[in-house]
Amino acid sequence: MSVAVRLPTVLRPHASGQAVVEISGATIGEVLTTLIGDFPGLNGQVIGEDGTLNKFVNIYVNDDDVRYLQQLETPVKDGDEISILPAVAGGAA
């Protein structure tokens, strides 16, 4: 089973400059573990040291935020698209 993982510009240098990588896995956790195994520079960027999703990135399966699904246990199927986006913070000036 293969899914497309879309990487934001800020993470691409850690993935040989690639914008999209094909990764296998049955859950978000498996996909991200494989992604980090293939590109060790992403370690800590996507999954925190405590083994949970890094709070500074948002991860979507197709158009659904995995934080509102099953987080790392969210299942993925062949052909799904996973997007990793940097979290945007801000406030009123």
Domain containing 26 — which CATH number? 3.10.20.30
pLDDT, residue 34, reads 95
Could you tell me if 85 and 8 are in contact, meaning their C-beta atoms sit under 8 angstroms apart?
A: yes
Q: Is residue 93 a part of any domain in this protein? A: no
- Helix, strand, coil fractions of the chain, as percent rounded to 5: 30, 30, 40
Band of residue 74 on the pLDDT scale cut at 50, 70, 90? very high
Q: Is residue 47 a part of any domain in this protein? A: yes
Q: Is residue 91 a part of any domain in this protein? A: no
Q: Give the range of the structural domain holding residue 50, as residue numbers without chain letter.
A: 2-86
Band of residue 87 on the pLDDT scale cut at 50, 70, 90? confident
pTM of structure? 0.89
Band of residue 85 on the pLDDT scale cut at 50, 70, 90? very high
Residue 15 has pLDDT above 70, yes or no: yes
Residue 88 has pLDDT above 80, yes or no: no
pLDDT, residue 93, reads 56
Q: How many domains is the chain partitioned into structurally?
A: 1
Beta bridge partners of 84: 59
CA distance 76 to 3: 8
Q: Is residue 92 a part of any domain in this protein? A: no
